């Protein structure tokens, strides 16, 4: 048994929402075995005792939209790419993630899904691979963003059916739907349908949400915006209980807009993401996304024509930014990156909170979300 003492534990309260609690010791092996008052803990019973020294002890973060980092990308044919991404994510407090594909030749997307399937079933030393977020090719050319238009296709469930065990979230433009039951088939197979890279109007987006599209890909970006006469996809997202991804780097979404979204969603149904590229963690310079050159300077990554091309954000830094912008408490911010995505993905029975019986996936960090230690399945990974 290992134990963490002298920390501020982020724990679910009776109503399920997270609170900060002191004076407790967290005990774990592969899974969390006990949470007890410090006065009842005997250090002699533990193989290792970690002194958190007043830092926060929280469930590890889930990143549901990430293309790459540390020079590696989900679309890389290199079998080691996902391991590199997983290892880097652990350094940022992320203990589980969805490698995200992009609009490429469909056989390349299929090969990526096969690699992700293997990674889901492999024992690694980094963040867990829970499955794939398939971003494209079922999107709108009008809102393609940094995706390659030549490979865009209309949504067809038959094309993704062989990978239903791998795809956890799929981004679509609802106006591109030609199969009336596409969303229903995805739901039947446990795939979350997300609206994104879409030129849909409010009514089309709301109809898709009513049909079961329960997620919005990088809210505000690559979609119709909010206008008082044309509420757009952004309006539909705010006017519903759909879970909304938010790239919290202050590049993709203005701090004031982050506050507005947080207030409109009443602090719920928000999932901070990175949407990061292989350039994440490498500093300024020239990188690559889907065969296109990407130019990175500071926190901004763009294509040659100036189109914003994902981010170079680490999730722990994003959570600090989001907290500063919204004034949300640390437990509330942690909940958006843990409980909310874990519940949506159907893994909250084993991940997403510090609860006895769940996996010991733990992030220890300070007030600025600087990571001191990351534990995954009871093992130190950073």
**Active site members:** 275
- Write the DSSP symbol of residue 198: B
In the chain, what are the helix, strand and coil shares in percent, each to the nearest 5? 30, 30, 45
The whole-angstrom separation of Cα 99 and Cα 46 is: 36
What DSSP line would sit under 228-243, residue for residue?
SS--HHHHHHHTS--E
The whole-angstrom separation of Cα 286 and Cα 296 is: 6
Neighbours of 331 (CB within 10 A): 20
Report which of 6, 70, 34, 131 is spatially closest to residue 314, judged by C-alpha positions: 70
The whole-angstrom separation of Cα 133 and Cα 64 is: 7
- For the record, the structure tokens of 231 come out as 């509420």
Neighbours of 329 (CB within 10 A): 15
**Apex CA 196: angle with CA 190 and CA 199, to 5°?**
135
* 3-class secondary-structure state, position 323: helix
Instruction: Give residue 5's region: left, alpha or beta (phi > 0; psi -120 to 50).
Output: beta
Report the Cα 294 to chain-centroid distance in Å.
22
Contact 280, 298 (CB under 8 A): no
The whole-angstrom separation of Cα 242 and Cα 213 is: 8
- For the record, the structure tokens of 4 come out as 């963490």
Please report, to the nearest 10 degrees, the dihedral formed by the alpha carbons of residues 294, 295, 301, 305 taken in order. Answer: -80
The whole-angstrom separation of Cα 229 and Cα 231 is: 6
């Amino acid at each position: 048994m290992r134990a963490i003492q002298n920390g501020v534990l982020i724990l679910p309260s009776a109503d399920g929402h997270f609170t900060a609690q002191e004076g407790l010791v967290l005990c774990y092996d592969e899974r969390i075995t006990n949470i007890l008052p410090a006065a009842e803990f005997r250090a002699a019973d533990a193989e290792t005792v970690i002194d958190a020294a007043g830092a926060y002890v929280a469930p590890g973060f889930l990143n549901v939209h990430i293309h790459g980092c540390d020079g590696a990308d989900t679309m890389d044919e290199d079998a080691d790419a996902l391991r590199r991404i997983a290892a880097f994510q652990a350094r940022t407090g992320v203990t589980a993630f969805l490698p995200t594909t992009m609009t490429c030749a469909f056989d390349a997307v299929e090969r990526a899904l096969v690699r992700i399937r293997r990674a889901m079933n492999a024992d690694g030393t980094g963040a867990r691979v829970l499955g794939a977020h398939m971003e494209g090719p079922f999107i709108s050319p009008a809102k393609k963003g940094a995706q390659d238009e030549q490979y865009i296709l209309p949504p067809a469930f038959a094309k993704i059916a062989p990978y239903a065990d791998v795809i956890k979230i799929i981004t679509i433009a609802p106006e591109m739907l030609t199969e009336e039951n596409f969303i229903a088939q995805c739901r039947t197979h446990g795939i979350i349908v997300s609206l994104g890279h879409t030129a849909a109007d409010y009514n089309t987006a709301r109809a898709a949400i009513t049909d079961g599209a329960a997620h919005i890909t990088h809210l505000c970006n690559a979609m119709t915006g909010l206008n008082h006469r044309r509420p757009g996809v952004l309006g539909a997202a705010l006017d519903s209980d759909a879970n909304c991804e938010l790239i919290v780097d202050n590049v993709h979404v203005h701090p004031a807009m982050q506050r507005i979204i947080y207030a409109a969603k009443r602090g719920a149904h928000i999932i901070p993401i990175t949407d990061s590229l292989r350039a994440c963690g490498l500093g300024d310079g020239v990188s690559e996304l889907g065969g296109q050159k990407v130019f990175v300077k500071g926190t901004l990554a763009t294509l040659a024509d100036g189109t914003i091309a994902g981010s170079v954000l680490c999730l722990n830094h994003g959570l600090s930014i989001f907290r500063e912008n919204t004034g949300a408490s640390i437990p509330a911010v942690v909940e958006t990156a843990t409980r909310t995505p874990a519940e949506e993905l159907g893994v909250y029975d084993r991940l997403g909170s510090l609860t006895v019986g769940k996996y010991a996936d733990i992030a220890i960090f300070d007030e600025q979300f600087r990571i001191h230690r990351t534990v995954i399945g009871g093992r130190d990974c950073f």
